[in-house]
Chains A and B, each alone.
Chain A
Amino acid sequence: MRNKKLLVFRYIALSLITVLMVGPLVWMIATSLKEPTRIFTQFFPNPIRWENYTEVLGQMTFLKQYWNSIYIAVLVTIFVLLFSSMAGYAFARIKFPGRNVVFLLLLSVMMIPPEVTIIPLFLFMRDLGWVNTHIPLILLPIFGAPGAFGIFLMRQFFLAIPKELEEAAVVDGCSKFKIYWRIMLPLSVPALSTLTIFTFLTNWDEFLYPLIFINARELMTLPVGLSLFTDEAGTDWHHLMSATTLVTIPLLILFFFAQKKFIEGMTAGSIK
């Protein structure tokens, strides 16, 4: 009896919270298909207006921003994977002077909030002529939280790999780089995929850097581009919601297919 009550309570509570979590996204998708005049008068779109999507996808600016977001996030992720696995391997497997000090230094540098360094960085980038280019957007995040977290994660992973796997290669006289590239990296796919998800999602959501370094619309990334949308008088909500749907859905689909990895990637990053 008591258990039954508990079960009913559990389902009611969880359903309520689910409505709060998923409801807004359902509403977003519904609104993205509405006629502009009916946005506020109906919940389910009737008639469905697919043109909202074709119109948004027909805007060069939106497509450009989408492309910017993707290619910057991909580049940052590749560099983070490469650099932090290299550093992680050195910290785990190579004895060199200053190893422990530098490791601690790198991890503590990770704690420096970008909000503090962005002011001088803006001046540097301005003097280099890199404001309003993608260079700072690609360069700076690599050495932020994802990079440092990556070093930590990869080092842990490499430490757990049994030494015997490398010994044969050492006897054969393989160079350190060859061992890292041929043996260690292929073994570390699980850790690399966790890091990929963490880095990609963090970068996909990056707001402060693009807001400060980019002024031209066609150079912006999606978060900043979309936030500008809402400032303009008489926001086209139906178009904005199609745009946000197009931004959200691909990641959600990936999430449904690789939930375990996603959850691992996101929570691992938050527990640094």
Chain B
Amino acid sequence: MATSNSNLSTESKFLINKKKKPFSNKLSDSIAGWLFISPMFLGFSIFMFGPLVYAFFMSLHEWPLLGEQTFIGLENYQSLGQDGSFLNSLNVTILFSLGLVPLNIILAMFLAGLLKEKFIGVGFFRTAIFVPVVTSLIVWAIVWKNLLATELGFINQLLDLIGIQGPSWLLDQSTALPSVILVSVLKNVGLNMILFLTAMQQVPGELYEAAELDGASAFRRFRSVTLPLITPTIFLTMIITTIGAMKIFGQVYVMTRGGPVDSTKVLVYYIWETAFRHFDMGYASALAFVLFFILLAFTILSWVVRKRWVFHEE
């Protein structure tokens, strides 16, 4: 009895052990997996997701930096519609994007088209166009601020040589925003150019040969061969560039401080001002959420586009 029992127990132990091995492996895998992702997971939870939820909570309050918070429900959101400064900043942001995105995309495509074949100097030009991307945005903005100075600025001195009196680029309501747009396009067009270059180089060469045999002009070849094949890239870069344009802040801060007469006061600048100049934290959070939902819409759009079209993402 006892022996058989002990026998059984050793056998069963053996069996249990055999069974337990994969189980313990599973368990240790789970622990290892969670341990490996824990720094990122904790960091994201504490520094990204937590604050996002908290920002929404704040947006339901009257929340001065010092003093009492009072719960006011959706009042901050309701007052957006009557806030002239908000409507202006939204308007400026949209105008900025409407100016920047087409200009950036068209210029990037044009440059990629010029640079896609090999010729003498191609490397030099590609490098030159990418140089501003590697330059600090703030440095780029400071240099252009000086170049665009009214009387002594280099650009107006050049114009003076050919007898044109240049405008006060950054001090005039009608030219300040276009100036900031142009400086921003030059800063980042190199990125999109590279993306288009990659897309264009994937277009099969036979298609061009066939088109050429049929006597298609360069423009016709671009319209009928290149354009349809790089459409997904165009959409994707458009969305990414728009998201970037909606968040512009640094160059406005350096070049115009939102002026003249709020003509360059973009949304992020207005959020920054509301939160860290007027210390109206609750209302600033509500403004930030408006930005968040705009960006979310574009992000979701980019996922949809990617799912439907993008065939070259490995």
Contacts and interface: CB of A to CB of B under 8 A. Distances in A.
Do they bind each other?
yes
Interface of A: 6-7, 10-11, 13-14, 17-18, 20-22, 24-25, 27-28, 31, 39-40, 43, 82-84, 86-87, 89-91, 94-97, 99, 102, 105-106, 109, 111-113, 115-124, 139-140, 142-144, 147-148, 151, 156, 175-177, 180, 201, 204-205, 207-208, 211-212, 222-224, 226-227, 229-230, 237, 240-241, 244, 247-248, 251-252, 255-256, 259, 262-263, 266-267, 270-271
A123 B69 CA distance: 13
Contacts of B285: 116, 119-120
Interface stretch (B12-20, B81-89, B286-294): B286-294
B48 A14 contact: no
Contacts of B249: 115, 207-208
Given A10-B114, A91-B37, A111-B299, A143 B43 contact: yes
A121 B32 contact: no
Interface stretch (B124-132, B172-180, B200-208): B124-132
Interface string B9-41: 000000000000000001001111110110111
Interface string B127-155: 11111111111111011111100001010
22 contacts: A11-B121, A17-B129, A27-B154, A31-B146, A83-B40, A96-B32, A96-B34, A111-B299, A119-B285, A120-B54, A121-B51, A139-B47, A205-B137, A207-B250, A222-B138, A227-B253, A244-B143, A247-B139, A251-B136, A255-B130, A267-B198, A270-B195
Contacts of A248: 135-136, 139
B92 interface: no
B210 interface: no
A105 B37 CA distance: 12
A61 B281 CA distance: 32
A180 B93 CA distance: 45
B43 A147 contact: yes
Contacts, number: 246
B33 A119 contact: no
B114 A14 contact: yes
A119 B287 CA distance: 11
Contact of B254 (A28, A144, A227): A227
A60 to B, nearest CB: 21
Contacts of B127: 256, 259
Nearest to A197: B134
Given A106-B40, A247-B136, 14 more contacts: A17-B111, A21-B132, A25-B135, A87-B37, A87-B39, A106-B41, A109-B49, A115-B268, A116-B55, A144-B48, A156-B314, A223-B250, A227-B138, A230-B142
B293 to A, nearest CB: 10
Contact of B37 (A90, A113, A251, A263): A90
A151 B41 CA distance: 11
B43 A95 contact: no
